[in-house]
Amino acid sequence: MTLDMNSEHQLQNSCYNEHNMIIYEDLYTLREIYAKFSKKALEKNNEIMLIVTTYETPDTVRDMLSEYDINVHKHESNGSLVIIDSVQGYQRANFYGVLRLIQLLAIRAQKDSKSGIFSIADMGSFFLFDREKELVNYELTIPKTIDIRLKAFCCYHKNDFSSRLTKDQQRQLINHHYKTLSSSIFY
């Protein structure tokens, strides 16, 4: 699967302070999204890139980024690329680990004269632990616009979103994000 021009345009033209959502068809589509936009964030936009992964290991993400000619070691070493497992970020201690990390990255971005943060966060760990209600409650605590120089994309696998959430929960999540991109427009 590949991104269509409309979806790519919407992702490229996302603005800081937006809390957005992507419902992706398959892992290949998500890989294309995070790899392509990591390259742009790191090499063109002077942003810190945060990737929160569920259905593949951080090492697999590193390998994918390397295939896109991203110097993963350099960017991780200088703190402009952060890759974490979503179980660590969302399921340990409390659900706000990733949000706290983003706040710390925002401080680093300002200190290092970065433009801001670009975040791709897969929300799948909530489904792995049967915490759909907690997921919705968590998402509803984060406003559509955030007072951080952040382009945030919460990512949901289509099967998780459509089969594990009620229609009401789906509606709440869609309505609570600044914009929602569906994988049906990615190809």
Q: How confident is the model at residue 183 (pLDDT cuts 50, 70, 90)?
A: low
pLDDT for 8 equals: 63
Secondary element (H or E) of residue 73:
helix 72-77
pLDDT for 1 equals: 44
pLDDT for 92 equals: 74
Q: Is the pLDDT at 184 greater than 70, yes or no?
A: no
Give the number of domains in the chain. Answer: 1
Query: Residue 1: what residue type?
Result: M
- Residue 174 CB contacts under 8 Å (≥ 6 apart), including other chains: 21, 180
Containing structural domain, residue 32:
5-185
Q: What average pLDDT does the segment 138-157 reach?
A: 94
Q: Are 181 and 7 in contact (CB under 8 A)?
A: yes
pLDDT for 79 equals: 95
**Each residue's pLDDT tens digit, 83-101:** 999 998 888 766 778 989 9
Q: The CATH number of the domain where 146 resides is what?
A: 3.40.50.300
Q: What average pLDDT does the segment 31-49 reach?
A: 94
Q: What average pLDDT does the segment 7-36 reach?
A: 86
pLDDT for 11 equals: 67
Q: What average pLDDT does the segment 160-173 reach?
A: 96
